[in-house]
Amino acid sequence: MLPSGEHTFIIAAGDRKCVSSSAADFKVIEGHATPEGTKKYASYGVSKKGLPATHFREFDGLYLSSIGMGTYLGDLTKEDDIAVENAVYESVMSGAINVIDTAINYRAMKSEKSIGRALLRLASEGKISRDQIFISTKNGYITNDGDFPNVDVMEYMHRMYIANDVMTADDISSGYNVMNPNYLAKCIEKSLANMHLSTIDLVYIHNAFESWHEDVDRKTFAEMLAKVFELYEKYRKAGKLRYYGMATWTCFRVPKGEKEHFSLEDAVKIAREVGGDSHGFKFIQLPYNLAYSEALLLKNQPAGTDMITILEAAGKLGIGVFTSAPLFQGRLLRAQIPDYVGVGDNNKVAKLVQVLRSSPSVVAPLLGQKSPEHIRENIQVASIPPLTREEFAQAIDTLMNRPMS
């Protein structure tokens, strides 16, 4: 929860910024990503930084960069705190990246806090306003607070939630995940405070089916998911959340019939039952790279009497896709990748990312970056236009017929 008493608010919209102070000296950045703000960011990237216009994708009126920044990896050190903060700041200031992704459990809340400090710097300088940046986070996994390293995860969960009757120990799955709405509400409030935000653009339920399918049947899981979506809709009405979704690892990329498979159509149906036609379930996240190619190739989602891929299903259902692990945590950088049209043979990162960002329904792959070198590499990819439909088809043909070694 936010500290009690008065707070300091930074209200940023367009070129206006109003700062009010209080004794509590806690700063909250008002607003959220908007069509006008994100279009202004895209225009800046194209006109001032020379980026191709196709680098930015329009989804639900928002103009989002086709490369996003992820914040999963790193140690619980001050050095990595500063590195993540600087990476967020530099990425946004580059004009090339206005999508920032995190989770409350990443680096035990320290990634969110680093993002918050970077956003405060951006807001205080008045160069880029809140309405130009799209921020997503995730909740569901148990976590402790990395600023208190002597309190481990289970002790933290007991002190903060179980002892205070927010939840019980039985609410924790065998996969260390919680779908109790009381806990998730506390996570949303904590994420808001960690990042100094009045509103989060997107909140995902994090690897929920993967974490619960061994513990409950599908009917029970659907009921649990409906309660989660009800909570998210409540936060949307309160103006603290704009969209919600499912961040997943395997459930959308295993064959239908496997125990770990889940249908996107079923998830959208639950959201519609909970929130009506104007529901906020608009995004999913899943791994997709040149090793994990199921999103593009595996027909595992029902569409009437046919089966289609998850990317095709997302397009049909109006769901935007963010993809994780684009470089397979760096392992793919050691692979021999065939040359394909539109990418120079000396840019391995571009070879790995171009196919992903050019895939149908994909808004952006999320690249982890902390070092100045990696930031420069990823921004360089942003300067290359995504593949056209014809180039994409040629690239897929090349990669499938000349596999990596």
Homologous superfamily of the 32-401 domain (CATH)? NADP-dependent oxidoreductase domain (3.20.20.100)
Distance CA 146, CA 232 (A): 26
Amino acid at 34: T
What is the structure's pLDDT at 151?
Answer: 96
Sign of the torsion angle spanned by Cα atoms 389, 391, 394, 395: negative
What is the structure's pLDDT at 213?
Answer: 97
In order along its 405 residues, the chain shows pLDDT tens digits of: 223 333 333 333 333 343 334 445 889 999 999 999 999 999 999 999 999 999 999 999 999 999 999 999 999 999 999 999 999 999 999 999 999 999 999 999 999 999 999 999 999 999 899 999 999 999 999 999 999 999 999 999 999 999 999 999 999 999 999 999 999 999 999 999 999 999 999 999 999 999 999 999 999 999 999 999 999 999 999 999 999 999 999 999 999 999 999 999 999 999 999 999 999 999 999 999 999 999 999 999 998 889 999 999 999 999 999 999 998 877 888 888 888 877 766 678 898 999 999 999 999 999 998 889 889 988 999 999 999 999 999 999 988 887 776
Backbone angles phi, psi at 345, to 5 degrees: -75, -5
